[in-house]
Amino acid sequence: MKVLDKKVALITGAGSGIGRAIACLYALEGAKVVVSDIDEKGGNETVQLILKDGGDAFFIRADTSKASDHQKLVEASIQKYGALHIAVNNAGIGGPLAPVGEYPIPGWDQVIAVNLTGVFLGMHVQIPAIIKHGGGNVINISSILGKVATATSPAYTAAKHGVIGLTESAAIAYATQNVRVNSIGPGYILTPLLTKTLDPATLGAIANLHPMARLGKASEVAELALFLASDKASFITGSYFNVDGGYLAQ
Ligand code: NAP
């Protein structure tokens, strides 16, 4: 018996990085996986990786900043697999880098729309569906910047702080209805989110901000997401957990 046998899991932003690692691990552990992303190529690649390993998955394109896309996504999951038990709200963007006074307003709007409103819009339709199918859990991907800040990431920092509060509110609201809601705060993880915009020297400097003096791996975040999604975490809700090589302990 695998940890997620008979479970249906939906993961946003699963065409790359952390979302892909979670999707692949969940599938390996028996879940039927709904892979979602705005990036169709990346999303379909994740599905192929899962199918190659004998898992079950399909891709649905959804922009998490749009309420109607979340609705479509949940409906498609239920139509294809007959249920929804686990949702991972992982899709996120880095956004511009500038202090508040110089931060571009459209950049603020976009980061809040994807990284914070996207999580609300997701849970808004996922949780009623999860309840209808007998209960389950939601995992929201925050960040170490859900607890601390950098001077040049006001929108990202505000959104990720918001995700932790939103997670707590939802957890309390549904605690007696067999839905657990938790958030994860990764440190800097080596994914395209970082490699697309940062040069190797900057990545090296960022690695050294962690007591473990390295960047994290997407698979290390996925292992925590697997534990939280499983019944082994049955008394855990409303919590925020770090996978950060000691970053927040400093
Ligand atoms: P990633 O490799 O860039 O993957 C994110 C995926 O989400 C990409 O495929 C991206 O597509 C997609 N996406 C972007 N906007 C979307 C939208 N509106 N709707 C649906 N999908 C969308 O990033 P990652 O590092 O795996 O990050 C995953 C999550 O972890 C994010 O919430 C991020 O904030 C969080 N996190 C990451 C780190 C880190 O250091 N990597 C640290 C802490 C927290 P495009 O590539 O087309 O944009």
b/e code 203-229 from CB counts within 10 Å (16+ = b): eeeebebbeeeebbebebbbebbbebb
Write out the two tokens for 182.
């938790």
Question: For residue 142, what are the CA distances in angstroms to 134, 135, 183, 208?
Answer: 26, 23, 6, 21
Pocket around ligand 1 at a 6 A CB cut-off = 12-13, 15-19, 37-39, 42, 63-65, 90-93, 114, 141, 143, 186, 188-189, 191-194
Query: How confident is the model over 219-242, as a mean pLDDT?
Result: 98
Count of CB atoms situated within 10 Å of the CB of 232: 11
Number of the ligand 1 atom closest to the C-alpha atom of 145: 43
Encode pLDDT of 39-67 as tens digits: 999 999 999 999 999 999 999 999 999 99
Residue 237 confidence (pLDDT): 99
Secondary structure of 75-127 in HEC code, one letter for each residue: HHHHHHHCCCCEEEECCCCCCCCCCHHHCCHHHHHHHHHHHHHHHHHHHHHHH
Dist. CA 94–CA 219, nearest whole Å: 20
The amino acid at residue 62 is A
- Ligand 1, atom 7, residue with closest C-alpha: 13
Residue 126 confidence (pLDDT): 98
Residue 93 confidence (pLDDT): 98
Number of the ligand 1 atom closest to the C-alpha atom of 63: 19
Encode pLDDT of 141-186 as tens digits: 999 999 999 999 999 999 999 999 999 999 999 999 999 999 999 9
pTM value is 0.99
SS3 33: strand
Query: How confident is the model over 124-141, as a mean pLDDT?
Result: 98
Task: Please give the domain boundaries of the chain with CATH numbers for all domains.
Answer: 8-189+218-245 (3.40.50.720)
